[in-house]
Chains A and B, each alone.
Chain A
Amino acid sequence: MIIEALIAVTFLAALVTFVLPDRYAGKAAFALSLAPVVGSLYMWQQYDASGNALLGGNIAFETDVVWLQLGQYDIHWMVGVDGISMPLVVLTTILTTLAIVSAWTPISERQSQFFGLMLLMEANLLGVFTALDFFVWFIFWEAVLLPMYFLIGVWGGPRRKYAAIKFFVYTNIASLVMFIGFVSLVFGLGDSITSLRLPEIAQALQAGQLGSFAGLSAGALASVAFIAMFIGFAVKVPVAPLHTWLPDAHVEAPTPVSVMLAGVLLKMGTYALLRFNFTMLPETARAFALPIALLAVASVIYGALLALAQQDLKRIVAYSSVSSMGYVILGLIAYTTYGVGGATFQMVAHGLISGLMFMAVGVIYNTTHTRMVGDMSGIADRMPVTAGIFVAGAFGYMGLPLMAGFAAEFFIFKGAFESTVMEAMPLFTGAAMFGIVIVAGYLLFAMQRTLFGPFRFDGDYDITEAPFHDVAPLAVLLLLTIVLGVSPDIFFTMIQDAVTPILELGGAF
């Protein structure tokens, strides 16, 4: 019941915040958002799952009750966490709280609506990561779009309407494609399943129950469904070339929303890829190893090179997210402990670090009101603390050892290099790894030009150190990044525990 409680509390917090006067909304939202943080940490401390939730592992905090019947299948209210979702739940709650604090300064109108929507989004995200029934999961998955649409559309930048609708429709189409793919898979299983519970479906698939459907043989059906789902999730991740909604959304969204977008929403995509494509259809995934690896490498290099061309700090970080998520795909397709585990770890690590970077950019933006690299220089002179954390975060992004990013990337590289899905995996790995050079390139250039050098600012704001409540979340994130980097086992143990069953999957059909 604790998961239900967690979601319900968050949801109530959202409702409460909606009705509060704008004046108190920010502080109240922060206070209220501490409840889910505590809850998730308590869950983490009480966590007792083992194995993969979809593959018959024992699930923590599981509830499973029949909700309704749709055609021949039951829809259950089934939630629970395993080693894959637990870290993401913690990430979600913590990051939301920090994002809320970081929103105190920039959000100056309709606060109660803003913070309410933030909490609403958190509730839905928690649902996405804990739901284990397809329909329940899908409800939360789609419900995340609503608050995001408003958060970008109302509080965003000049082109916010365009960005919001683009994000909205693009990801919605993706969900529909995925829906069709998955449902045809379900009907391919026919009577071998009685409900839409993901574990049941996954295990039926492993048991080779997949039959032919709609004139497609089992194999063809698996491939079609895999492709449809992959496209659907790849948009969310995003994998190049389905990424173009991301830069617009990021640039237009207010900083705290970018934090959530990069920190958690993108992870929905990779999480779903892992849960659906790579857990349910391992054989198909291996069969598609080459194109998937190519996409991964393309995302990494393409995203990084694009980031190199940007002048807007936010756009830089946005494109670099495309690059970083490419690593996740690479790790997933590797089908090794370190590959898949590292990919999952990268979800958390990138969540923290990209959040940190966006917040840092935001803090600078709060004072300078510009994000253009050319508009300023030597900011470190006036904002030493912020600049310091910015530098630290940037190096974290570059994969500096003893910070979470390095751990994740090294795991992925190691896992991908020794992967057996393809003869050429070492080459792909090597190619993808070149991302670490490019990322260093554009971040160092950006820092040299904005933070360092003689102080110059084309604007009539006086640049002073940011207030405590702007810097505090940055510091917290930095601390978490370092802690995770020094001791990745904090999450990596449970992650591995959950991913190893995936690797052991035998022939599905």
Chain B
Amino acid sequence: MEIIESARPVYVVLVSLLAVILIGISGKYPNLRELWTMLAALLKFGLVVSMLPTILAGKVIEFHVTRILPGLDIAFRVDSLGMVLALTASFLWIITSIYTIGYMRSLKEHAQTRFFMCFAIAMSAAMGVAFSANVFTLFVFYEMITVSTFALVAHEETPEAIKGARKYLVYLLGTSVFFFLPAIFLTYHYAGTLDFASHGILAGKASYTIISIIFVLYIAGIAKAGMMPFHSWLPAAMVAPTPVSALLHAVAVVKVGVFTVLRIVLFVFGVDLLQKIGLGVFLSYFASFTIIAASILALKQDNLKLRLAYSTVSQLSYIILGVALLTPSGITSSIIHITIHAFSKITLFFVAGAIFVATQKKYISQMNGIGRRMPFTMAAFTVGVLSMIAVPPFGGFVSKWYLLLGAVEANMLPILVVIVASTLLNAAYFLPIVYAAFFKDPPADEVQGVHEAPLMIVVPLVITALGTLALFIWPSLLLNLAKMVVTLVM
């Protein structure tokens, strides 16, 4: 594999950090401030895309920033797996920025400068995670996301928001310090290095018992992946303004979580090692449990955002389940589901925000007939829902197809049952919303006629809805990247 030395990944991270400063000093001029956000988002996406040809050509970009201690380096490494996350996150940041501006202005939110600053930091950190060359760098950016998004979750500063934010922080920081960090420490001690390698770094370095302990520590430590029992920070974080829920809790934060699991599983332990010990099976049953349990919990939620949150918990475990199968199709499904779920879920969150902006409604029970009032919005919602349920011709179908293939390859019939059951559950908690929106009569006292949210809100959600369609029709880029990862690690 050819390695290219280039500081470009650093620029990707720095772009939005630079934007943070610019946003900070131009806080008094909202238009200028938003210009910085948009410019940074576009520039960042451009930089990521500019690295794409190199990666597709089978090369790897590396850059060593600094050595903190012997064995602890801050270093970047761009490969196909990181590219998937980086592309998805940086593209959706552009869309979300537009949406956020519309949302925040419509609601006349307070402390918008702080909001945009923290947002930009979180995006930098997400890029950092995607491009980390070793566990330590990854961990640092992982924590950076936690801290910066904490301020976003607590944005409203109401007692409720603060309570949610506190839970958010305690869960994420607590698990990472007490499970993730010791796991890193043990990895360092046994492997002597923390650099990711395509077949893992732990094989043959320690006894199976110790490797299993490290594995469990990692899985428990990466709470951002939303695995039960460390999932409840995610519903708690739904007190945040909707753009935060949309980008961070459908894309940046949770996807960073599952991405980290993927990285650790594939590049620290390696497929062979996990197969030998049988830890993949353990993980897949664990993920299956989360899938089903979270879906059942989602059924009971009336708050739309909460239902989406539980759906996210369930969907994240699809990604983990895919990689836990340790088969080519399973891993492929994991990787592409990162992007596909991001597009679908962000659409749904955008819609929830749009409804709130237009009607101040938060609860599903209030949404009868809302499709007549907000036809575009609810059409997009329907697209998102169908993609989540994995109905063709939407992206969700592709990833679930690969997941099913993976389960078959792994000879794990129970998993097939889980997937089918969860699909039914998905339908059960999403379709009633669609039905109510379009086929139930709105309350009599409501104004009739079309009354959409502002354009800056509606356009982004339509774009992302179209995106899920596009991912079904042209999945080749995504599948190529995923296949590169598979050939690398298998």
Are both chains from one complex? no
Point out residues on B near A: beta carbons under 8 Å.
none
